[in-house]
Amino acid sequence: MSEGSRGGSLAFGQVVIGPPGSGKTTYCHAMREFLGRLGRSVAVVNLDPANEALPCPCALDVAELVTLPDVMDSLGLGPNGGLIYCMEYLEANADWLRDKLQGLRGHYVLFDCPGQVELYTHHESLKNVFGQLAKWNFRLAAVHLVDSHYCTDPGKFISVLCTSLSTMLHVELPHVNVLSKMDLIEQYGKLAFNLDYYTEVLDLSYLVDHLASDPFFRNFRRLNEKLVEVIEDYSLVSFVPLNVQDKQSMRQVMQAVDKANGYSFGDQEHRSLEALMSAAVGADFHFSSTLAVQEKYVQSQDKAVEEEVMDL
């Protein structure tokens, strides 16, 4: 009997990845609640051995196998080295993970992963764990969360694009990039371009020109041009905006992920989704989430300008 056949029937889910502070744990529990309302049996699996303050109980916690504080204390490692060791230990004990996951068959699984960027750009252990999950008949999509405030800084946004592209190429899973915390983006300043410029990753030469207006970045124009060429040559990176408080936004992300991992919902779930969205917006939802978020962002900026004028 092959390893894949021992895994049983197909299971669908998401591996939620991204830098520290991008909102992975918040996303997992918000998506669990959202999908639960549609009738899906959802389980959250914590694969982050450094996550000691889980907001809600998880169906499975890697802390039962290994924790970062224990590794740091026993081996004298720092946080980064300790986290890499934990992932290597998880890979070496894949049988433990497989046995634990057997009890979650029939569930849609959200894997809450660590926040160390190296684990997704060049280290092999977590990538190999994802490969094992595929052999056990899990059909997964990688949901890569990036804090939306990076859009307000062109230099940082180019770095985010490079990191996202590197992650997509290394992890080797169907991939959905998400700009998280869209409800907070106006706190970080005005965007240089419309929001769809960032979500669709349009002509990046404008971004290079914008950077060149800064005396510091002017010296690195050639480097930025080459980085942009790499991103555009692959033509893989785009983003879905996310506000976990907004059902419209959650729906947009859910549909993108369902398309990526192959999950197709039945008539009953479709009716539940339409009922949920009708309750949320008072009518059928026909416009894109990006345009909706952009409209809210523009309104908040206009209001801020009006308040400044009134103060004068």
Q: Say if residue 22 is exposed, middle or buried (CB neighbours under 10 Å; 0-12, 13-18, 19+).
A: buried
What string of pLDDT tens digits covers the 312 residues of the chain? 344 444 458 899 999 999 998 999 999 999 999 999 998 999 999 999 998 777 778 999 999 999 999 999 999 999 999 999 999 999 999 999 999 999 998 999 999 999 999 999 999 999 999 999 999 999 999 999 999 988 888 888 999 999 999 999 999 999 999 999 988 887 877 888 888 888 998 888 888 888 888 777 888 889 989 999 999 998 899 999 999 999 999 999 999 999 999 887 655 566 666 666 665 554 444 344 455 555 565 566 556 555 655 665
DSSP label at residue 186: G
Tell me how long the chain is: 312
Q: What DSSP element (H or E) covers 163?
A: helix 154-171
Output the six-digit token pair for 87: 């992932």
Residues contacting residue 249 through CB under 8 Å, at least 6 positions apart: 182, 241, 242, 243, 289, 292, 293
Extents of the domains making up the chain: 11-185+239-265
The span from the first CA to the last CA of the chain, in angstroms, equals: 76
The pTM score is 0.83
In CATH terms, the fold of domain 11-185+239-265 is Rossmann fold (3.40.50)
Is there a contact between 142 and 111 (Cβ–Cβ < 8 Å)? no
β-sheet bridge partners, residue 141: 14
Q: How far are the Cα atoms of 131, 136, 140 from residue 10, in angstroms, in the given order?
A: 15, 8, 10
List the Cα angle 31/35/39 in 5-degree steps: 160
Euclidean distance between CA atoms 26 and 147, whole angstroms: 13
User: Is 11 strand, coil or helix?
Assistant: strand
